Amino acid sequence: MDAQAPELTALLRTLSDGEWHSGERLAAEAGCTRAGLAKRVARLRERYALTVEAQAGCGYRLATPIDLLDEAAIRAHLDAPIEGVTLLPSVDSTNRWLLDAPSTADPHLCVAEHQSAGRGRRGRAWASPFGQSLYLSLSWRFDHPADALGALPLAIGCVCCQTLEALGAQGLALKWPNDLVTEHGKLGGLLIEARGEMGGSFRVVIGLGLNLRRHAGLDGLDQPAIALSECLNDAALPSRNMLCAGLATALAQGCQRFNSDGLPPFRAVFDAHDALRDRAIVVHDAAQWTGIARGVDRNGALRVEDENGQLHLVHAGDVSVRRA
């Protein structure tokens, strides 16, 4: 998982079950002294911001167990034409990593255990603790002009909802333009960034952050948050590797369909999951005004009815929208 620190990878895999592990045995397995092991534990805490507990007579354990990602397992369960898969223990942002990567490897999936500078739309921070959620990005090339990609977040949101509902998640909705939500809070977010390429095509990086389990980072945010484990009722939370592969497959298939057919094939799903439809909202653009959300147009713009009954088209790149 971390080619630069294989000794930390081995230690993390042993501790990932959250059980106590004898310091003497850990040191023997690692071929180091007890003092050397203590230094490795300290590096593990510092590098990945993990809470590793130490207790005399018990040894070491992770305060929270981790279902570690595995690149080979993700590849084995992919069912889509994704050329490259990169798993990183920590990165500033999976979107940023792919934007800087050569496009010759597209389509390319980048997944990370931890993001040090995870971000959402309009530069908002995204809480990304090690191993507790899912952070992935997929690069894809589209034939559309840039203005035709405005509806892409809606299409991708639809395939995410359908994938999670197939696992048993209930009460999911889509808050225009890029949030997966329930009545109890935000479950996940999409960040889509495009760059023009030679020949008129556009290289797009689709980022998805999904809360899997409740963690401290979800508290104290500017809006309520919820985890997938809280949406599944009696269904079990799937392994992160299976979930990652399933979502990546769905994203790739959604990109293929959007590239050929645009938004129309996704409209019925979006309309059924539209969290803002016929609700009072506050639009923050050059000014601040209120209106009633009336769905989206064929290009993905939000239709908002003002107090005089006039319809306005609101585009995602210009504004922030909140329910009143």
Report DSSP letters for 248-304, one per residue.
HHHHHHHHHHHHHH-SGGGHHHHHHHBSSTT-EEEEESSSEEEEEEEEE-TTSPEEE
Distances (CA, A) of 98 to 81, 117, 198, 204, 212: 17, 14, 18, 10, 23
Residue 39 is among the residues annotated as catalytic for this protein? no
Distance between CA 294 and CA 304 in Å, rounded?
A: 6
Residue 186 is among the residues annotated as catalytic for this protein? yes
- Mutual orientation of helices 34-48 and 6-15 as an angle, nearest 10°? 90
Q: With contact defined as beta carbons under 8 Å apart, do 166 and 179 qualify?
A: no
Catalytic residue among 34, 45, 298, 322: 322
144 φ/ψ angles, rounded to the nearest 5 degrees = -75, 155
- H or E stretch including 10? helix 6-15
Q: With contact defined as beta carbons under 8 Å apart, do 119 and 191 qualify?
A: yes
CB neighbourhood size of 302 (10 A): 24
Site of tokens 């130490």: 54
Q: With contact defined as beta carbons under 8 Å apart, do 188 and 125 qualify?
A: no
- Residue 48 CB burial class (10 angstroms; 0-12, 13-18, ≥19): buried
Catalytic residue among 96, 175, 186, 240: 186
Which segments of 49-180 does DSSP mark as H helices, in order? Answer: 71-77, 94-100, 152-166
Catalytic residue among 40, 121, 175, 240: 121
Catalytic residues: 121, 186, 322
